[in-house]
Chain A
Amino acid sequence: MYRYDEFDERLVRERIAQFREMVRRRIDGSLTEEEFTLLRQMNGLYLQLHAYMLRVAIPYGTLSGRQMRQLALIADRYDRGYGHFTTRQNIQYNWPRLRDVPDMLELLADVEMQCIQTSGNCIRNVTADHFAGVAADEIEDPRPTAELIRQWSTLHPEFSFLPRKFKIAVTGSAVDRAAVAVHDIGLRIVADAKGRIGYRVTVGGGLGRTPMIGKPVREFLPREELLPYLEAILRVYNLEGRRDNKYKARVKILVHELGTEAFVARVEEEYARIDRGAVEVDAAEVARIAAYFAPPAFEALPARSEAFEKAARDPDFARFARTNLFPHKAPGYTALTVSLKPIGAPPGDATSDQMRVLADLAERFSADELRVTHVQNIVLPHVRLDDVPEVWAALVEAGLATANSGLVTDIISCPGMDYCKLATARSIPIAQEISRRFADPERERAIGPLGIKISGCINACGHHHVGAIGILGLDKAGVENYQITLGGEPGDLASLGERLGPGIDADEVPAAIERIVDVYLALRTDEAETFIDTVRRVGLDPFKPALQPQEPVRAAA
């Protein structure tokens, strides 16, 4: 895991001291709210519906046990004993007090964490595949690349006031789990015919008001050219991106308005001008960063584990093992997903006690590593199969053993109007109700993989556009109203969902989702055809009647 050097440490501490001073000056009245808003946003502090909210960066979603324990301590000392893990692989505290925030930042800095670049029009926290360093099909761990970008972009003077926020995601696997196609820049690590490592670069993906799939701008960018090339893209965007209308200010609009070809031409023109030597990092520095992400020393283990197989006679354990384990490249190991989606609970929330359990488990059983996923779950990436029964037992005790990873109750949901100031409707209660409807684990297993994603407004933090079933909450003349989309997919075959029909009321949503799932079950060729495959094969029409409330059928008297 990456460790701060003295430079990072000093920078973060200086920032906190500055912020402490700004808070003091806001409280004593020497700063206006307008002046202060910009400053607090640069430190990850928002003002939400009921309270302030502090968003903490978890770069590429990787945490140590010590860091997770510190997050729990902060939740207890300065918040309400819980935290919310987000689709950006961050954690948010929903109830901090303004005066306490500088102290919270100091506690974070003690474990090499901070809130810089979690808000504002800058290059945001870089995200990556949560199975980095685990997946057998991985060409290279994406985290050294993500860390390199983090260092380059942190407080980059030229790119601190972009037209709008800017999100970069990296994947190193053949299978994209980082949703790179819906980021401002998506990077996919690839190898060319000679085995050299480079990047396939897409630009202009994004969700929100105008969802778009990123356009390829380079099929193969040699590794050493990464930073200069990113600099060229960002410079073109910084200069030409629209600043007159915040809804048209993301790079996707620039790419769309110019056309991909013209955009690429501008980038290449800029790239030809750039003094690459000044931006490129040398191989030694790349290697220095990569060394922090060296895989732990895996034991030589047999691929099969007797302890594991014995435990699998318990049907509950077997169900958990079937859904929540991901194959590990090292024989005898697995990556274990801890679901933060217990039936009927707000997605992504964890109590401080649960955080401490996760920290302990990471230290004892997973090479002291945890990952936060964009699906709002936690991963223990390096668990020996032999240890899975013990880990599972501890998770059961902590209420963290829900066996639903990737299934219909593993719902992504943004905070919506229960917390968020920008919301047009609530999203968490919809998620809770759907979760309760599909609580029967056997039924859930029979349905198979299905991603439901819910956003409480058009900003799409709940990624509804790329949900196999997407739900968007809107305000229709003072009543919460929900639009359902089908056919979205964040990964390799990235696609945007299509609207099924007119919006429906909140209390109709769970039943409508149930009917949609029933249509799928009736139409699928066999169990191997997943929900999204069926939607792609048959189109939306067969699902449309499912939006209408059905009259109960009565036999004639």
Chain B
Amino acid sequence: MAGKRPALPLVLSASDLLDGDVVFHTGAGWDRSLSAALVATDEAGAQRLEAALAEVESGGPVAEPFLFTVTLDPSGAAVPNHYRERIRVCGPTVRHDFGPQAREELSHVSL
């Protein structure tokens, strides 16, 4: 794995191999919804995500896995810290009809 691990809390994301959709690691598998993601808040959790990342790095149902930092909002939902990941979580900001935002399940994440 290249580079340093980003700061906690962490989420593991990737692109679905078949359709390129943004997916998140749930602890047991992959899901299209950020709310289903396993959020690592401590060293043990981070190591678990790193192990999952290493496992799919060369193959498997997803492509290009990586970790990113989130903040937990008052309700406990994860919100990505960086705008790049917020855009990735929502879909193109110029086409609200496409991407996860079109499924209207992301009311807690906005730019």
Q: Residues of A with Cβ closer than 8 Å to B?
A: 26-27, 29, 31-34, 47-52, 80, 95-99, 346, 417-419, 423, 426, 428-429, 432, 475, 478-480
Contacts and interface: CB of A to CB of B under 8 A. Distances in A.
Interface stretch (B39-47, B70-78, B80-88): B80-88
Contacts of B87: 49, 417-418, 426
Interface string B15-58: 10111111000000000000000000000000000000000011
Contacts of A346: 94-95
Contact of B94 (A97, A432, A479, A480): A432
Contact of B22 (A50, A96, A475): A50
A417 B92 CA distance: 8
A47 B65 CA distance: 12
Contacts of A419: 92
Given A48-B20, A418-B94, 5 more contacts: A26-B17, A33-B63, A51-B20, A98-B17, A419-B92
A424 to B, nearest CB: 8
B93 interface: yes
Contacts of A31: 59
A95 B98 CA distance: 9
A103 to B, nearest CB: 14
A24 B19 CA distance: 14
From B60, B63, B84, name the one whose CB has the most chain A CB atoms within 10 angstroms.
B84
25 contacts: A29-B59, A47-B20, A48-B20, A49-B22, A49-B88, A50-B88, A50-B92, A50-B99, A51-B15, A51-B20, A51-B21, A52-B19, A96-B20, A98-B20, A346-B95, A417-B84, A417-B87, A418-B92, A418-B94, A418-B95, A426-B87, A428-B94, A429-B93, A429-B94, A480-B83
A281 to B, nearest CB: 41
B15 A47 contact: yes
Nearest to A46: B20
A27 B94 contact: no
B59 A50 contact: no
A34 B58 CA distance: 7
Contacts of B17: 26-27, 98
B92 A52 contact: no
A95 B22 CA distance: 12
Contacts of B91: 50
B32 to A, nearest CB: 11
Given A29-B59, A97-B20, A417-B87, A80 B98 contact: yes
B105 interface: no
A33 B94 contact: no
Contacts of A48: 20
* Interface of chain B, main secondary structure: loop
Nearest to A479: B83
Contacts of B95: 346, 418
Most chain B beta-carbon contacts within 10 A, residue among A52, A99, A432, A479: A52
Nearest to B15: A47
Contacts of B20: 47-48, 50-52, 95-98
B19 A51 contact: yes
Contact of B18 (A33, A99, A418): A99
Which of A50, A418, A480 has the most chain B CB atoms inside 10 A of its CB? A50
B14 to A, nearest CB: 10
A80 B97 CA distance: 10
Contacts of A26: 17
A49 B18 CA distance: 14
A36 to B, nearest CB: 8
A95 B83 CA distance: 21
A478 B92 CA distance: 18
Nearest to A418: B92
Contacts of A423: 84
Contacts of B93: 418, 426, 429
Contacts of B21: 50-51
A99 B85 CA distance: 26
A478 B63 CA distance: 25
A98 B92 contact: no
A346 B96 CA distance: 13
Sort A-B residue pairs by CB-CB distance and give the 6 closest, nearest first: A51-B20, A418-B92, A52-B20, A32-B58, A97-B19, A428-B94
Nearest to A52: B20
Contacts of B81: 478
B15 to A, nearest CB: 6
Contacts of B15: 47, 51
A33 B83 contact: no
Contacts of A80: 98
B98 A33 contact: no
Contacts of A426: 87, 93-94
Given A50-B20, A97-B19, A29 B94 contact: no
A288 B19 CA distance: 43
A411 to B, nearest CB: 13
